Amino acid sequence: MNKIDITQIVLLVLILLSVNRPLLKKGRLIAKRTVVVTVHSLSKLIPKKNQLVVFGGENGQGFRGNTKYLFLKMNEDKQLECVWISRNSEVVSSLTKKGFQAYKHNSLKGIYHQLKARMIIHSHSINDDFSKAFVGGAISYNTWHGVGLKKVWGANKNTFSYKVLHERSKLKRYFGKFVVKTNLAKRNYVVSTSEAVSSYYPETFLVHEENVLQLGQVRNDVFFKETEEDKDIPEWIRKQKVILYMPTHRSFGKLETDINSVFDFERLDQFCEEMGYTFLVKRHMYSSGNVPTRFKNIIDISEKPYDPQLLLKYSDVLLTDYSSCYTDYLLLDRPVLFYSYDLDLYLKKSNDMYFNYFDVTPGPKVNTFPELIEVLENSIAYPELYRDERKRVLDIFYSQDNQREVLDKQVTYIYEHVLNRLS
């Protein structure tokens, strides 16, 4: 039997990949992940600067959320070097003009500070908020960006992490754990808001139970005080009676329904005119369809750089579906409505949930537009409806200690229990 030339083997593999696109795509993904994790492991050998803390958030695209407020507060400590890393040039430019250190994730200075960081603070994942390959060896502090129903990461059966950790093949499971092992380090922390939430975070974020920190969401502090940033919300929103529609995504846009097919905007505009309300639409980035611009009382603000928490603060009624925004909104004790027109499809094709949807959604749930108009009118007339239910569910997602301002408490914890490891 003739020996097969190595060139023939390579050609055969290339041919198989070229005619099998799913296999090619999967091969590229595995190769990319392997390279990233390998470089990530090597970056652990780089000596760290003890007082260098690197921040990121919003998938590297924005400057808002939990990490924003931690960054601003910790910048007051001149013994620390605080640096913001972003994928967005406008964010970097804006921060540098204000006197802060900020760099693109793939710039030389950005890479240098990621390699040298002793601690990274982020709101999504190190893949999204930084260049994961360069932050090996840093203490990871994940504030996360919402307390919701949807299973994510290690708890979501549709994710790479879940499939790897539940792979039947020992060889594949071993290889997969190598790819995701950076999420299993003892020096990874994730911030929770209550005992109930803390119970499922170890599985979700692949961290040790003792590293789940029940410290609240600092971004919600704006609910309890006036800030300079309140002025970033236009006066016409702050002075109007507002219904805010803020939905979540469906499988990152794969299952989206055109917004025009689930809203009768002409009837909605008429309703708002009669009731004296403005209907604001804050769509998810993966949402489908465009909101008509011809209506006086319906305004799509999705492209505006408004802080979502401030929009919640200045809204009188929240309309959502499965988004985590409603658990934050419960802190304000205002009416919440759930327009769950595709619940069965969502559960089947997009995300499982940590809780029974009907047990932890304290407000009317509808799946048709006529029903929506009816419950909107009722909720405006009787805002106290569901108040007891709102409080019950709030206590599930937020402990009493986290139903108030938490920034100072969280920064103190970081200094005393996390940063003390840096000395």
Domain regions of the chain by residue span = 49-220+408-422, 226-402
Would you tell me how many other CB atoms lie within 10 Å of the CB of residue 291?
A: 19
Average of per-residue pLDDT across 23-33: 66
- pLDDT reading at 17 higher than 90: no
The residue that leads in pLDDT, 59 or 289, is: 59
Binned at pLDDT 50, 70 and 90, residue 206 comes out as confident
- pLDDT reading at 387 higher than 90: yes
The residue that leads in pLDDT, 254 or 273, is: 273
Q: At what angle do helices 170-180 and 21-43 cross, to 10 degrees?
A: 50
Is the CB of residue 216 less than 8 Å from the CB of residue 146? no
Is the CB of residue 368 less than 8 Å from the CB of residue 296? no
Binned at pLDDT 50, 70 and 90, residue 14 comes out as low
- In whole angstroms, what is the distance from residue 313 CA to residue 329 CA? 8
Average of per-residue pLDDT across 233-248: 96
The residue that leads in pLDDT, 326 or 344, is: 326
The CA-based diameter of the chain, rounded to the nearest angstrom, is 86
Q: Which residues pair with 53 in a beta bridge?
A: 82, 119
Give, in degrees to the nearest 5, the angle at Cα 352 between 341 and 144.
105
- pLDDT reading at 214 higher than 70: yes
Residue located via tokens 């789940």: 212
Binned at pLDDT 50, 70 and 90, residue 420 comes out as confident
CATH number of 49-220+408-422: 3.40.50.11820
Binned at pLDDT 50, 70 and 90, residue 150 comes out as confident
Average of per-residue pLDDT across 286-299: 86
The residue that leads in pLDDT, 85 or 349, is: 85
Binned at pLDDT 50, 70 and 90, residue 1 comes out as very low
The residue that leads in pLDDT, 17 or 249, is: 249
The residue that leads in pLDDT, 26 or 289, is: 289
Answer whether 0.85 is exceeded by the pTM: yes
What local confidence, expressed as pLDDT, does residue 18 receive?
54
- pLDDT reading at 319 higher than 70: yes
- pLDDT reading at 252 higher than 60: no
- pLDDT reading at 169 higher than 70: no
> Hey, do 49-220+408-422 and 226-402 end up sharing a CATH topology, with the first three levels equal?
yes
What local confidence, expressed as pLDDT, does residue 325 receive?
95
What local confidence, expressed as pLDDT, does residue 178 receive?
56
Please give the C-alpha separations between residue 32 and each of 39, 178, 264, 295, 333, in angstroms, as whole numbers: 11, 13, 45, 47, 46
What local confidence, expressed as pLDDT, does residue 55 receive?
97
Q: Which residues pair with 75 in a beta bridge?
A: none
What digits encode the pLDDT tens for the residues 51-94?
999 999 988 899 999 999 999 999 999 999 999 999 999 999 99
Residues whose CB is less than 8 angstroms from the CB of residue 45 and which lie 6 or more positions away in sequence, other chains included? 137
- Considering only CA atoms, which of 345, 383, 402 is closest in space to residue 147? 402
Residue located via tokens 């071993």: 174
Of all residues in the chain, what percent carry a pLDDT higher than 90? 62
* DSSP conformation letters of 380-395: HH-TTTTHHHHHHHHH
Specify the DSSP class assigned to residue 299: E
Task: Find the DSSP H helices in 222-345.
Answer: 235-239, 265-275, 308-313, 325-329, 343-345
- Considering only CA atoms, which of 236, 63, 238, 206 is closest in space to residue 142? 206
The residue that leads in pLDDT, 231 or 257, is: 231
Binned at pLDDT 50, 70 and 90, residue 185 comes out as low
- In whole angstroms, what is the distance from residue 407 CA to residue 419 CA? 16
Whole-number average pLDDT of the chain: 87
Binned at pLDDT 50, 70 and 90, residue 253 comes out as very low
Query: Architecture of domain 226-402 in CATH?
Result: 3-Layer(aba) Sandwich (3.40)
- In whole angstroms, what is the distance from residue 334 CA to residue 379 CA? 9
Q: Pick the range with the lowest mean pLDDT from 10-14, 135-139, 170-174, 316-320.
A: 10-14
